[in-house]
Structure 1
């Protein structure tokens, strides 16, 4: 009698390995990367569930839908080619440019 395995075993191509006070460890297609909060500040205020919800799109594009973060694998391999600039104030719209004007009645 011959035994057959039903189904196939697949390995996840993208997996969050660890979330620490310093950053996030991620495994992608057999390689591990460390995303420090200093270099990738967008993850610092994310919840564990938000950080764990990552998708690999088009074999080179990482997307965290709950955090609205997009990164390419190449930016993790060669960060010197992708300077990351982040300014909290640039994410907030100034009140003088608010699209909704306040009117007095």
Structure 2
């Protein structure tokens, strides 16, 4: 989740969700913006917006949504073709 400095307007979080659409959502990770389409990451499709916004970066290549119990490697977002979808959620 993003935390902003009220005085400076500077993000103090290394990761934040910047936009959500009906197709997926965008993450800002440092200076890199990543898109997670619901077609590739169906675990988020029916999730509450507040739960999607609550994302943590436990390590440089590990994202975690604690309220959804979802762990993702950053590389799986950058190169989803290298990480076959393993889910029982229907598309």
Where on the TM-score scale, by shorter chain, does this alignment land: which range? 0.7 to 0.9
The match for 2:16 is 15
Alignment of 1:78-89 (within 5 A): 78-88=79-89
| Structure with the larger RCO, 1 or 2 (CA within 8 Å, 6+ apart) | 2
Structure 1: unaligned runs, 5 residues or longer:
1-8, 90-105
Counterparts of residues 28-39 of structure 1 (less than 5 Å): 28-39=29-40
Structure with max Cα Rg = 1
In the TM superposition, structure 1's runs of 4+ consecutive aligned residues that sit over 3 Å from their partners are none
* Cα RMSD, aligned residues only: 1.6
Normalising to structure 1: TM-score of the pair? 0.70
What TM-score do you get using the length of structure 2 for normalisation? Answer: 0.80
**Count of residues in correspondence between the two structures:** 81
Aligned to 2:75: 74
Q: CA deviation at 1:11?
A: 3.8
In the aligned structure 2, how far is the partner of 1:10 from the partner of 1:19?
Answer: 19
